[in-house]
Structure formats: structure tokens, C-alpha cells
């Protein structure tokens, strides 16, 4: 393991004004996104869409890394340039999603655990050959009205995240560790904070036990936020304060960056929350983004699967990247949405 190499890649991904574009939708998820704009999810349409994203002018000013799905890492531009090479040539690190999704945790009804550890060492070796500089594993933690998640469900996911992270660092691939507490449900912000705290505590205990070097990883957590169906939604300042309080208690300062997921927030809310956290002042780590839907929803809406809409879609992507780049410095305002 080269700690220097891991640190260099992790720091470059969260360099000033930069964050991550999560474009690692698995085939079922991208089909859902395409269905919403009435585009067919063929391999060629997925390739065209990803080419649109990765060839957008100037995104390298705001995007330090792009997470790809297995199929996408093997695809190329229409001119035959592999996407990983295209991104690297623009100074953007290509990354790869390596979990195989959340499945029911046996004998723990209601809990889920992310799978994908079998054969992961071999898959990582191949992904490295294909140009991946970092990887991502997403653990999904649901909150229900009773006892989910259980302490064991949290431990099982934390253990899997740590085994994945150790395997990545073994071959100098930076692991993005993503424990996502879902914002589905009717729970209040307090419950989200309590569960996120439990999850982060368990994750860092397991990472430490597995000898994962904190300086050579990135954390991709949820923000502390009320469930979508909760009648009492917290304001921007409350979300920012609760999230920073929780992360400051449980995330070691050695971690170079926090790259939040958006989790179903609107694009504007995700930018506003990120901005508020950065406007609070300096934090031990870079406070950045790794948004999927919050970067891509306006792009898909503009594209609609039509070649004639590519320029408008790229404009929408650059706008979201630029606004999140400003939020990295606490310099975003809602009024900028009009521009």
C-alpha cells in the first residue's frame, strides 16, 4: 500500500471547489431515470448519456472524480476514447461502484446488508487495469417506526464497508465509504441524527479494526435531515448544524474529505445545505459533494434522450457543478439559481 498515493488521489478529488459526480447508476436504476424522461435504456443510449456528461466543457473546474458503473468503465466515446482515459485526461479521477446492492440480512427481518465482497480482490485488480483510481461501496440503512435498523444490522454493514475499504487500499485504490441512512420514512431529524451517529461510530470502529488508513479514504454520508414523510421538515440552518455536530463527533480529522450524497433532496436544497455547512467556518475535513440525482435531475430533464438537447443538458450540468463549487466555499445563494 502506498499511503502517499492514496492521500494524493483523495486530496485531489476534494481539492478547492471540487466534488464528485455520482454517475454509477446500476442498470435497473438508470432504467428508472430514463423511464422518467421516456427514453429507452439501451446500452447505446446509456453510453450516449454518459458521453454527454463526461464531455461537458469546464466541469473539471468543479468535479474531481466521477463514479462509474461496471458497464460504463468499459465504454468509450463515439470516437473510441475509453471514458476512464477521457476523464483522466481532463484531470478527473475515474472511480468505480463495487458493491452489488443491498439484500435482506438473513434472520434479521427488515435489515439490509450490501453484498459484493466475494471476488472483490480480483475485480479491483481488473478495475485498476481499466483506470479506476477510487471505488465506492454503498451500505443502505433504512429507518422504520419500530426497531430498524438493529444494532446488528448496523454492525454487519460497517464490517462489510471496512472489508471493502481494506481491499481497496491494499491495491492503492481510494475507498469511498458510503453508509447511507435513507431519508425515506416519517422520522424526525432527531432520529436521523441518532441513527447516523450510531452508524458512523460503528463504521469508524470497524475501519480502524481493519487497519484502514483514514488519510487515504473519503466518507460519503447522508446529511442529518428529517424523513421525507415527516410533517416537520427542518430548515437549512438546522440541517447544517445537526449534520456538522454529528460528523464532528464521529469522523476522525485525518479523513481528507466528506462527500455528501443527496439522497432524494432537490438539487437546490442539496446545494443550499452544502453551502450552509461551509459557511459555518473551517471544518477538520473538506466538506464537499458526491451527488447523483442532485447533479443529474436537471440534466435528464433537459436532455429527454434527444440529440438536439445535448447542449441544453450540458449547460444544466455545468450550472449545477458551478453552484455546488460555490457552495464548497459558502458562496452560494438561492438567487443564483435564476442565472
Catalytic residues: 178, 220
Binding of ligand 5MM at residue 20 (CB under 6 A)? no
Residue 320 to residues 164, 257, 331: CA-CA distances in angstroms?
A: 31, 20, 14
Nearer to ligand 5MM, 83 or 291 (CB): 291
Residues 6+ apart with CB under 8 A from 40: 34, 305
Between CA 10 and CA 219 the distance in angstroms is: 10
Nearer to ligand 5MM, 214 or 291 (CB): 291
**Mask 27-46, x = binds ligand 5MM (CB under 6 A)?**
--x-----------------
Q: How many residues lie near ligand 5MM (CB under 6 A)?
A: 16
From 17-25, 83-91, 116-124, 205-213, span contacting ligand 5MM (CB under 6 A): 17-25
Per CB under 6 A, the list member of 216, 221, 227, 263 interacting with ligand 5MM is 263
Tell which residue, 216, 222, 328, 213, has the closest CA to residue 275: 328
Binding of ligand 5MM at residue 272 (CB under 6 A)? no
**Mask 92-111, x = binds ligand 5MM (CB under 6 A)?**
---------x----------
User: In which element (H, E) is residue 287 found?
Assistant: strand 286-291
Binding of ligand 5MM at residue 227 (CB under 6 A)? no
From 38-46, 190-198, 290-298, 304-312, span contacting ligand 5MM (CB under 6 A): 290-298
Per CB under 6 A, the list member of 291, 299, 314, 325 interacting with ligand 5MM is 291
Residues 274, 287 contacting (CB under 8 angstroms): yes
Binding of ligand 5MM at residue 181 (CB under 6 A)? no
Site residues for ligand 5MM, 113-142, by CB under 6 A, read: 138
Binding of ligand 5MM at residue 72 (CB under 6 A)? no
The residues pairing with 28 across neighbouring beta strands, listed in sequence order, are: none
Between CA 276 and CA 333 the distance in angstroms is: 10
The residues pairing with 63 across neighbouring beta strands, listed in sequence order, are: 19
Binding of ligand 5MM at residue 24 (CB under 6 A)? yes
Between CA 237 and CA 249 the distance in angstroms is: 18
Binding of ligand 5MM at residue 55 (CB under 6 A)? no
Residue nearest to ligand 5MM (CB): 292
End-to-end Cα spacing for the chain: 46
Binding of ligand 5MM at residue 257 (CB under 6 A)? no
Nearer to ligand 5MM, 71 or 201 (CB): 71
| Other residues' Cβ atoms within 10 Å of the Cβ of residue 207 | 24
Nearer to ligand 5MM, 24 or 111 (CB): 24
Give me the long-range contacts of 7-12 (CB less than 8 A, separation at least 24).
7/215, 7/216, 7/256, 9/93, 9/133, 9/134, 9/174, 10/134, 10/174, 10/215, 10/216, 10/217, 10/218, 10/256, 10/257, 11/256, 11/257, 12/64, 12/93
Binding of ligand 5MM at residue 262 (CB under 6 A)? yes
From 146-154, 187-195, 239-247, 261-269, span contacting ligand 5MM (CB under 6 A): 261-269
The residues pairing with 218 across neighbouring beta strands, listed in sequence order, are: 176, 257
Binding site for ligand 5MM (CB under 6 A): 22, 24-26, 29, 67, 101, 138, 180, 261-263, 291-294
Amino acid at each position: 500500500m502506498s499511503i502517499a498515493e492514496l492521500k494524493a488521489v483523495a486530496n485531489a478529488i476534494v481539492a478547492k471547489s471540487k466534488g464528485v459526480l455520482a454517475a454509477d447508476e446500476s442498470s435497473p436504476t438508470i432504467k428508472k431515470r430514463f423511464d422518467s424522461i421516456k427514453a429507452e435504456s439501451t446500452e447505446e443510449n446509456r453510453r450516449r448519456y454518459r458521453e454527454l456528461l463526461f464531455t461537458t466543457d469546464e466541469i473539471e473546474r468543479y468535479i474531481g472524480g466521477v463514479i462509474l458503473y461496471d458497464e460504463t468503465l468499459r465504454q468509450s466515446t463515439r470516437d473510441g476514447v475509453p471514458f476512464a482515459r477521457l476523464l483522466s485526461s481532463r484531470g478527473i479521477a475515474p472511480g468505480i461502484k463495487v458493491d452489488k446492492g443491498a439484500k435482506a440480512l438473513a434472520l434479521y427481518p427488515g435489515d439490509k446488508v450490501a453484498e459484493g465482497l466475494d471476488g472483490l480482490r480480483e475485480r479491483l485488480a481488473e478495475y485498476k487495469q481499466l483506470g479506476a483510481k477510487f471505488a465506492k461501496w454503498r451500505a443502505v440503512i433504512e429507518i422504520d417506526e419500530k426497531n430498524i435498523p438493529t444494532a446488528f444490522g448496523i454492525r454487519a454493514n460497517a464490517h462489510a464497508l471496512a472489508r471493502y475499504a481494506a481491499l481497496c487500499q491494499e491495491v492503492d485504490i481510494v475507498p469511498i465509504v458510503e453508509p447511507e441512512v435513507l431519508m425515506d420514512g416519517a422520522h424526525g431529524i432527531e432520529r436521523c441524527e441518532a441513527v447516523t451517529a450510531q452508524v458512523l461510530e460503528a463504521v469508524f470502529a470497524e475501519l480502524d479494526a481493519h487497519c484502514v488508513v483514514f488519510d487515504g479514504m473519503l466518507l460519503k454520508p447522508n446529511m442529518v435531515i428529517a424523513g421525507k414523510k415527516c410533517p416537520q421538515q427542518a430548515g437549512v440552518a438546522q440541517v447544517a448544524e445537526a449534520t456538522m455536530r454529528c460528523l464532528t463527533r464521529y469522523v476522525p480529522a485525518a479523513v481528507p474529505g466528506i462527500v455528501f450524497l443527496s439522497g432524494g433532496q432537490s438539487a437546490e436544497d442539496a446545494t443550499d445545505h452544502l453551502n450552509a455547512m461551509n459557511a459555518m467556518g473551517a471544518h477538520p475535513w473538506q466538506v464537499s459533494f458526491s451527488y447523483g440525482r442532485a447533479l443529474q435531475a436537471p440534466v435528464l430533464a433537459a436532455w429527454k434522450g434527444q440529440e438536439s438537447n445535448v447542449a441544453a443538458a450540458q449547460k444544466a450540468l455545468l450550472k449545477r457543478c458551478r453552484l455546488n463549487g460555490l457552495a464548497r466555499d459558502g458562496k452560494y445563494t438561492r438567487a443564483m439559481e435564476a442565472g
